[in-house]
Amino acid sequence: MPEDLEPGVIRKLDEVVVNRIAAGEIIQRPANALKELLENSLDAQSSHIQVQVKAGGLKLLQIQDNGTGIRREDLAIVCERFTTSKLSRFEDLAQIATFGFRGEALASISHVAHLAIQTKTAKEKCGFKATYADGKLQGQPKPCAGNQGTIISIEDLFYNMPQRRQALRSPAEEFQRLSDVLARYAVHNPHVGFTLRKQGEAQPALRTPVASSRSENIRIIYGSAISKELLEFSHRDDVFKFEADCLITQVNYSAKKSQMLLFINQRLVESIALKTAIDSVYATYLPRGHHPFIYMSLTLPPQNLDVNVHPTKHEVHFLYQDEIVERLKQQVEVRLLGSNSTRTFYKQLRLPGAPDLDESQAADKTQRIYPKELVRTDASEQKLDKFLAPLAKSDSGVSSSSSQEAPLPEESFRVAAAKKNREVRLSSVLDMRDRLEQQFSTQLRSILKNIVYVGCVDECRSLLQQETRLYLCNTRCFSEELFYQRLVYQFQNLSEITLNPPLPLKELLMLSLDSEAAGWTPEDGDKGELAASAAEILLKKAPIMREYFGLRISEEGNVESLPSVVAQHRPNVAHLPVYLLRLATEVDWEKEARCFDTFCRETARFYSKLDWREESAGSSRWTTEHVLFPTFRKYLLPPPRLRDHIFELTSLPTLYKVFERC
């Protein structure tokens, strides 16, 4: 054992060295410094920010702005740690510190580089120039000429940290990172003009105009292949108290390189959780290994945000992170649904929305309902048959106004061409959509998106397959929800199914009272009077139904048209009388939001009842497979309660196990 082994002497580290190490944690490379400087210039309300660099910012990183400037008397202390003009009282700290104002940036830089500040405020007659080392002002600020604003020059970054300097050997790579940071801030702050220049080059490497827009800046910086595929939306969540402004590419666009520009409370940050979630939504649309372009700006209550988990404040955590990420994921999902054509996007920004191209094309063509489908079987069958007879009689049924043309002999229903898309502004309807978009289950949605229809078991149940799993689903519950949602999204834009001839409302209502479903008893009063008052209610509300839902009842009291909710689907008219009665009794006509909601629910209920009598079961099966299921896949945002109506029967691995045992 060597005897001269002595314990190392413990020394207190030199304060300058301690500060330098701490500063090196915060400023790890030129791009970190630039981020801090950009934020300072933006905080100082600049409208022009120009950056000049030499050797990727390692030799020189200079930023000039036209903001408020720094007061002369503050120049002595701006580079001391914990000096900031942004928090004055201790109580502010909790509020504002989370925005990233820690008064550390300039101090840190002065510990690892030669720092000079030249600045002029509006009040002072001349500007001042000051130099700093290790957090301290060197000499006195010198008066100088200059415009209002601040020029911060950082030279020889890490001159006193040779190892760090060594590690950053590639100026080209550092320049790329600087340019990336500047680009992101430029997209986020389109009202500010940014310029990035390599010293000695005539052309700027990057430039955005003042008073531009986000999508325009994306075009300038990232190219039109991205900007023309952008989908813009905002979302506000009152439960988890956040707002999001987003620009995301549609599924037509994809790139090998993943780009996510994320700002939280105006600061450029990263969130792996959010990025992973958004990527997973796109993964079902994009080829393997391809990614979207995403810009997101979130605003959260500052006290919910913890940026200080990382010294450079890059990676953030926030309160309710899982929930917020889930909501954002849903939003992206919703916006992408049905947006897989740019043409559709230009036609209608609101998605999933009014009929898309396929649907309106289908709607242009006349749909026919053949009279035999109008026959029904329940208690009031005979009366109804008699009553609906005109519709069923091919010769007398059509009174074609354009008599020149050959009459369409069997045409009793006709779908009018879709009207021009009208924008919905009623907050009650927008709220209904919001609710649907906030509440649906992404898990169910992804099952639905990938299902293969196997077959109908009976009028309510269908078998579905997804990969190796077999599901049983209650078709009726799913289609009721589908019709409801399509009504909500096509509000004011529904095509109409014209009834030819129109059907007398009052008689339909009389018929409905005869049906078991109405459950009429003598105590309820005279049928004739009941029918008359129901007719009166519906006549009074006819303008609402016509304007918003394409259900027309003429002043004379004839039902002239019904909404065409899903192209190629026609309601089973046998249930029309009870539907009308329920519109009079079950819809809350007094309050706007309730009225639309209950109207859509009742209508959805009516539309979801397919005709399963022997002679029509075949066509109902066809409709289920070729009309309803494709529309589920395309549009349905399944609420979590639908989980009770879809069961996994078995899966291949389970079956293998069974076979193994045999």
Query: Of ligand ADP, Mg ion, none, which one does residue 411 interact with (CB within 5 to 8 Å by kind)?
Result: none
Which sign, positive or negative, has the C-alpha torsion 338, 343, 349, 355? negative
CB neighbours (10 Å) of residue 52? 20
* Bond into 355 cis (ω within 30): no
Walk across the sheet containing 413-415 and list its strands: 413-415, 495-504, 558-564, 552-553
Report the nearest approach of ligand ADP to the CB of residue 190 (Å).
20
Q: Which helix (H) or strand (E) holds 361?
A: helix 357-364
Binding site for ligand ADP (CB under 6 A): 36, 40-41, 44, 65, 67-70, 78, 83-86, 101-107, 150
Beta carbon nearer to ligand ADP, 150 or 339: 150
Residue 105 is a binding residue for Mg ion (CB under 5 A): yes
Tell me how far, at minimum, the Cβ of 66 lies from ligand ADP, in Å.
Answer: 10
Check binding of 40 to Mg ion (CB under 5 A): yes
How many helices (H) does the chain have, and how many strands (E)?
24, 23
Cα 453 to the center of its chain, rounded Å: 28
Q: Please tell me the distance from the alpha carbon of residue 549 to that of residue 563, in angstroms, as a whole number.
A: 6
Measured from each CB, the residue nearest to ligand ADP is 84
Please, which residue, 74 or 323, has the CB nearer to ligand ADP? 74
With binding defined as CB under 5 A, does residue 98 bind Mg ion? no
Residue (101 or 242) nearer to ligand ADP, CB? 101
Q: Nearer Cβ to ligand ADP, position 109 or 398? A: 109
Cβ at position 181, least distance to ligand ADP in Å: 15
Q: What's the min distance (Å) between Cβ of 238 and ligand ADP? A: 31
The C-alpha torsion from 338 through 340 and 341 to 347, rounded to 10°, is 40
By the 8 A CB rule, do 304 and 318 touch?
yes
Is 33 a binder of Mg ion (CB under 5 A)?
no
Q: With CA atoms as reference, report the closest residue to 49 among 174, 216, 197.
A: 197
How near is the Cβ of 311 to ligand ADP at its closest, in Å?
A: 13
Nearer to ligand ADP among residue 44 and residue 580 (C-beta):
44
Q: What is the contact mask toward Mg ion in residues 581 to 620, using x (rule: CB under 5 A)?
A: ----------------------------------------
Q: How far is the CB of 34 from ligand ADP (least distance, A)?
A: 12
563 binds, among Mg ion, ligand ADP, none (CB under 5 to 8 A by kind): none
- CA distances from residue 601 to 298, 448, 518, 605, 627 in whole angstroms, order as listed: 34, 22, 17, 6, 20
- Kindly report the backbone phi and psi dihedral angles of residue 119, in degrees, each rounded to the nearest multiple of 5, phi listed first: -155, 155
Region from 98-106, 179-187, 204-212, 532-540 binding Mg ion, contact rule CB under 5 A: 98-106
In angstroms, what is the minimal distance from the CB of 84 to ligand ADP? 3
Residue in this structure with the two tokens 């074609």, named with its chain if needed: 400
User: Which residue, 44 or 503, has its beta carbon nearer to Mg ion?
Assistant: 44
CB 154 within 8 A of CB 33: yes
- At 472, list the tokens: 């049983």
d(CA 124, CA 150): 13
- In angstroms, give the least distance from the CB of 146 to ligand ADP: 13
Q: Kind of pairing, strands 495-504 and 413-415?
A: antiparallel
Query: Between residues 86 and 241, which has the closer beta carbon with respect to ligand ADP?
Result: 86
Residue among 106 and 325 whose Cβ is closer to ligand ADP: 106
Computed over its alpha carbons, how large is the radius of gyration of the chain? 34
Q: Is 108 in the site for Mg ion (CB under 5 A)?
A: no
Q: What is the DSSP letter of 404?
A: T
Question: With binding defined as CB under 5 A, does residue 337 bind Mg ion?
Answer: no
141/355 with CB nearer ligand ADP? 141
Give the count of residues interacting with Mg ion (CB under 5 A).
2
Half-sphere exposure of 213 (CA within 13 A, CB side): 7
Q: For residues 555 and 417, what is the distance between their CA atoms, to the nearest angstrom? A: 23
141: helix, strand or coil? strand
Q: Which one, 308 or 443, has the nearer CB to Mg ion?
A: 308
User: In terms of CB distance, is 78 or 534 closer to ligand ADP?
Assistant: 78
Minimum separation from the CB atom of position 158 to ligand ADP (A): 18
Residue 247, strand partner residues = 232, 295
Distance CA 318, CA 263 (A): 13
Q: What does 106 interact with, of Mg ion, ligand ADP, none (CB < 5 to 8 A by kind)?
A: ligand ADP
Q: Which segments of 87-205 are extended strands (E)?
A: 114-120, 127-133, 136-144, 149-155, 193-198
Closest contact distance (angstroms) between CB of 84 and Mg ion is 7
CB of 157 to ligand ADP, least distance (A): 16
**Residue ranges binding Mg ion (CB under 5 A):** 40, 105
